[in-house]
Structure 1
Amino acid sequence: MSKGLTRRSMIAGSAASVLAAPALAQELPDTVQIRESLSSTTRRNTASFRAIQWRAHFPNLRNGAILVDIDSRALHLWQEDGGYHVYPSSVPQSAEMTRKGRTRVVRKVVGPTWRPTPNMRRRNPEWPAVVEPGPNNPLGTHALYLSWTYYRIHGTHDTRKIGRRSSSGCIGLYNEHIAEVFGMTKIGTQVLLI
């Protein structure tokens, strides 16, 4: 490889050409470049992200669609117009805490209040019953409530969790990413965890 040509510049060039193509007509690349602002650990984790075609998982894009891939720790979002976005995420710590299948967004909250589940309180009796919005809230700045009781897609103030098996069942995103996802998501958005 020449001095001026690096893997990063090749990916950036590929991403720029893909972004210039119309959203519905483009061929998705094997890898998707994620923002440079991510931590080096998360950037390493996102190097294995693969673009996914929505048609393999959803019958249509009515109200948009979110797919969470537990193994790759990535959240994929398609807007109704076909716009596609991918974000690094935290996922449940163990298979026992992981729920897979279809659900939907039933509520959206800016500045959510966190209440540990009964199981969390049994495992951690020292935890408070309620944590109001703010820097100590495990739900971060925004939360998408799913039709499954106790399950959310939410932000986190603890950025070390992203890209890891670190949650008690929810899907976590960086606060700046959940704000973007929140803005592109509707009540009724279909969600699939695989």
Structure 2
Amino acid sequence: MSSLRSTIKILIASTFILSSSNIYAISFVLPDNAKDSLVMEFSQGINKKTIASKNEDLLDIARRFDLGQNEIIRLNPDVDRWLPKAGAQIQLQSERLLPDAPRSGLVLNLPEFRLYYFPEPGSKEPSSVITHPISIGRQDWDTPLGQTSIIAKKENPTWTPPESIKKEHAAKGAPLPDVVPAGPNNPLGLYAMRLGIPGYLIHSTNKPYGVGMRVSHGCIRMYPEDIDTLFPLITVGTPVSIVNQAVKVAWAGDSLYIEVHPPLENHQTDNLLDIALDLIEQANNGVLPILDGSALNDALTERKGLPIKIFEQASIQTTETSN
């Protein structure tokens, strides 16, 4: 086992050396097999594309298709975020691997800048997941990890900024009042859901183009139109899992996929390959299979957040014989 792991790491390292010269709510039906974690809009699993319109920048397109800013920029590295050429093809995302977390309530994967909500299915409805982009705390105001729940909900909230934030704003010459009233200038927007972790909320925003980035003081921000549809679905007591999974590995039928996102700045690691190989072993019952090294290298190098197939099990066929 150790020799296979070493061989894979050497091959990947060699490849690294060579390569170095909305109105669009997203709801996926969960796979029939509870062990499968690849969800997609289309049965073909083809990542969608759209055409940039005149006077439309990448951030406009991201919001239209319910993507975050960092997400659409990573998917389109050669497109100017402010001045994409009219008619340019813009890659979108229509496939995702679910985070390794209970499929219940809300799951927030911070490196992915994304929220997943698993509603209770009706008696005749398939299980599904709703997903939206989010903003998280910037490097000096980390969003906390762990298990919590929604303990309160508020429409048209006022905001009482803590002393630490008031001090920061005052130092910038933009002092805050003791209470910011509800309205268009309130950074909480029209909806707020309080977490069991003191001081942290999931809320709307009056700065929507920061969604998908590390820009908050630790709270979770959503596009106004996203929380507008999510807020009525969430009840007090809904469980919330906040996880840090830059690398996700999961099955879809006989195929094993990996999805890699850039690690958070304060969680940078030089052993992303080791993390990936550990997750692959765990997903494959403790056995490291013969992988598609090129695909694995692409995922680890590009870190676009796209599910990439790295292994496929041979189908077992049985032949009946008659006597």
Same fold (TM over 0.5): yes
| Alpha-carbon distance in structure 2 between the residues aligned to 1:72 and 1:173 | 14
| Alpha-carbon distance in structure 2 between the residues aligned to 1:68 and 1:86 | 10
Q: State the partner residue of 1:3.
A: none
Q: State the partner residue of 2:96.
A: 50
Which residue identity lines up with residue 44 of structure 1 in the other structure?
A: I
| Alpha-carbon distance in structure 1 between the residues aligned to 2:187 and 2:101 | 30
| Alpha-carbon distance in structure 2 between the residues aligned to 1:122 and 1:35 | 33
2:194 to 138, 141, 145: 145
Does the residue aligned with 2:64 lie in a helix, a strand or coil? coil
Deviation sequence 1:131-165 (CA, Å, 0-9, x none): 11110000011011111111000001211210111
Query: Residue 191 and residue 31 in structure 1: after superposition, are their counterparts in 2 closer, same or farther (change >3 A)?
Result: farther
Does the residue aligned with 1:97 lie in a helix, a strand or coil? coil
Q: State the partner residue of 2:131.
A: 86
Deviation at 1:24, TM superposition (A): 5.9
Structure 2 gaps of 5+ residues are 1-26, 49-60, 76-91, 122-126, 244-323
Q: State the partner residue of 2:274.
A: none
CA contact (8 A) 1:110 1:143 kept: yes
Q: State the partner residue of 1:28.
A: 39
CA contact (8 A) 2:68 2:134 kept: no
| Alpha-carbon distance in structure 2 between the residues aligned to 1:191 and 1:41 | 21
| Alpha-carbon distance in structure 2 between the residues aligned to 1:182 and 1:145 | 12
The structure with higher relative contact order (CA 8 Å, sep 6+) is: 1
| Alpha-carbon distance in structure 2 between the residues aligned to 1:172 and 1:40 | 13
| Alpha-carbon distance in structure 2 between the residues aligned to 1:149 and 1:51 | 30
| Alpha-carbon distance in structure 1 between the residues aligned to 2:159 and 2:113 | 23
Deviation sequence 1:101-132 (CA, Å, 0-9, x none): 11100111111111112221222231121111
Structure 1 gaps of 5+ residues are 1-17
RMSD: 3.0
Instruction: Please identify the structure whose Cα radius of gyration is greater.
Output: 2
**TM-score normalized with structure 1 length:** 0.75
